[in-house]
Amino acid sequence: MKKLILSLALVVAASTAFAQKKVVNSADRNFKKGDLEAAMNDIQAALENPETMNDPNTTLVKAKILTKMFELDEDMAASTVKTGRSALEAFDKTMSMVGNDKNSKIGKEVYKEEVPGLPDNLRPFSKMTLRNSAFNKALQAYEEDDYSMSYEFFNLVSEIDPADTTAHFNAGYLAYQELGKTEDAKKHFKALIEVPEYNKLNTYYFLIQIASAEDQDPEQAYKYVIAARKDFPEDKTLSEFEVQLLLQMNKMEEAMASVKEALKDDPNNSGLLLRYGYLLEQSGDLDGALEQYKKSVEVNPDFFEGNFYTGAILLEQARKILAEINELSDDEWEKRAPEMGMKADSYYKDAIPYFTKASELRDGQASGEVLELLFQIHTRLKNTAEAEKYNQRLISIFGPNWMER
């Protein structure tokens, strides 16, 4: 009698398990027919039953259903991203149930590649399908100027396939350039610099810029520059960054050595010449600084900073002479002041073409400081007509009381 009862119990258990597997098969059939709502209801029932809830095939069917739902969802919305992320979670749970073995039967199903042109009933709706669909949605959102959702979809692609460098770069670019989300941008850019074979020069540029500007962390920016120069020793922009950051950190000796070395390879780089001039000016060598500032303009006549700095140092030299005149005794003043005054005026005259060019390279209020300097210089030199010309330009920009600003 006991054997009969035991046999009946086994038959009931086997029947129950078979019934539950039929639910999984029903979910799969409804999925292939395109009745995704019925398929999801079936698979949820299977996931709640102890007989099938721990079967990797059950979670795999759920992942496929969610992937198809994600692909068919035309809304560029957070809810669509949520569906895609749920599909990813189901795929990842499936893989954990088979020990993350990509060569297992289930693993091969999860990572099966899409073959273009297949009808839906033959498509795998695998993790690779999910990646491709997310990428396509990211591109569509970008073309519609929906940068926020484009970022979310590219970010999802990077979660589905962390090795997808294009997704990481696009997500980082959108986060930084279009959305101002620097932490998100750094996450993606940092992922890229860990990829050995990836050409990461532009990635380093972005990380340097973020660290230096947004994070106000020149030390970190400098670390990125040093790392980048190991990979790209010939890049001239990195040389400029290095000098600029050393200046920000007040490491003048290191900056001087760096700029001299960089100029050996790039002697006509106006930015490096400007920084070399600045370093010389800081060291007290005004003549040397003036020489480098002038060189920066010679190689690039439309270089605003070069023109402005050249004019500014000429003014500084003129003002130094005027300060010396004020310190002269009465006897010395009689002997030396006229000649010294003429020397100061010559510096003022030399500054005019540089400031004039600088004013032409800026519009409106941006040129205000330069125009004021030109007004003051022409006033000092008693060039009345020229001084009035700049007075009128300043009035047109700032109003009749511009001197009271």
One domain for residues 244 and 323: no
The per-residue pLDDT for 21 is: 65
One domain for residues 230 and 205: yes
The encoded tokens of residue 403 equal 């001197």
Within a domain: residue 389? yes
One domain for residues 285 and 255: no
Within a domain: residue 177? no
One domain for residues 255 and 235: yes
The pLDDT tens digits for 261-287 are 889 989 999 989 998 998 898 888 999
One domain for residues 279 and 319: yes
Q: Which residue has the tokens 């890229």?
A: 192
Within a domain: residue 243? yes
Find the helix packing angle between 304-327 and 330-360, rounded to 10°. 170
Within a domain: residue 332? yes
DSSP letters, 119-178, are -GGG----HHHHHHHHHHHHHHHHHTT-HHHHHHHHHHHHHH-TT-HHHHHHHHHIIIII
One domain for residues 330 and 276: yes
One domain for residues 284 and 332: yes
Give SS3 for 99: coil
One domain for residues 367 and 354: no
The per-residue pLDDT for 104 is: 97
Q: Which residue has the tokens 């970010």?
A: 155
The Cα 124–Cα 225 span in angstroms is 45
One domain for residues 241 and 278: no
Q: Which residue has the tokens 């190689």?
A: 299
| Structural domains in the chain (count) | 3
Give SS3 for 95: helix
The per-residue pLDDT for 206 is: 97
Q: Pick the last residue of a domain from 208, 235, 260.
A: 260
User: What's 341's domain CATH number?
Assistant: 1.25.40.10
The pLDDT tens digits for 126-168 are 999 999 999 999 999 999 999 999 999 999 999 999 999 999 9
CB 328 within 8 A of CB 309: no
The per-residue pLDDT for 140 is: 97
Give SS3 for 116: coil
Q: Pick the last residue of a domain from 215, 239, 260.
A: 260
The per-residue pLDDT for 365 is: 79
Query: Where in the sequence is the domain holding 392, given as residue range(s)?
Result: 362-404
Within a domain: residue 145? no
Within a domain: residue 222? yes
CB 62 within 8 A of CB 135: no
Within a domain: residue 107? no
Listed as ranges, residues in the chain with pLDDT below 50 are 1-19
The Cα 402–Cα 397 span in angstroms is 8
One domain for residues 279 and 342: yes
One domain for residues 350 and 366: no
One domain for residues 355 and 395: no
The per-residue pLDDT for 32 is: 79
Within a domain: residue 282? yes
The Cα 241–Cα 208 span in angstroms is 8
Q: Pick the last residue of a domain from 260, 289, 307.
A: 260
Contacts (Cβ under 8 Å, ≥6 apart) of 260: 276
The per-residue pLDDT for 265 is: 87
CB 170 within 8 A of CB 162: no
Model's pTM, two decimal places?
0.72
DSSP state of 66: H
